Amino acid sequence: MILHICPRDAWAKAVAAGVYDGDTLATDGYIHCSTAEWVHMPATLRFRGRTDLLLLHIDESRLPVPVTWEEGNPPHPEGAFFPHVYAALPVDAVVEATEYRPNPDGSFPRLG
């Protein structure tokens, strides 16, 4: 299971359309994802303090392309690689969408 951080309104639009392009497929060529262990890092770096976020729990077997594991940008200090999806995400690949709320200081909690 991989995770993707998504604003609630973007997910609602994706559900209506049946597919999710994310905010980076057009610019970076892939949808950034993470593992439960590391999702707090990109969440804090890119979305500090936002209260409108969901975590999309993605079943990799339902994706139209294999997940590519690559170094983060910036590279993770512990050398962790992150899952990237080089295609639009079918909404039926998302098996759950859960709230992801920041800590009082705006950082996001570690899950794994």
CATH fold of 2-99 reads: ADP-ribosylation fold (3.20.170)
H/E stretch holding 68: strand 68-71
> 52 is written with which tokens?
């409108």
At residue 79, φ and ψ (nearest 5 deg) are 75, 20
Evaluate if residue 86 carries a pLDDT over 90: yes
pTM score, whole prediction: 0.92
Per-domain residue ranges for the chain? 2-99
Residue 74's pLDDT band (boundaries 50, 70, 90)?
A: low
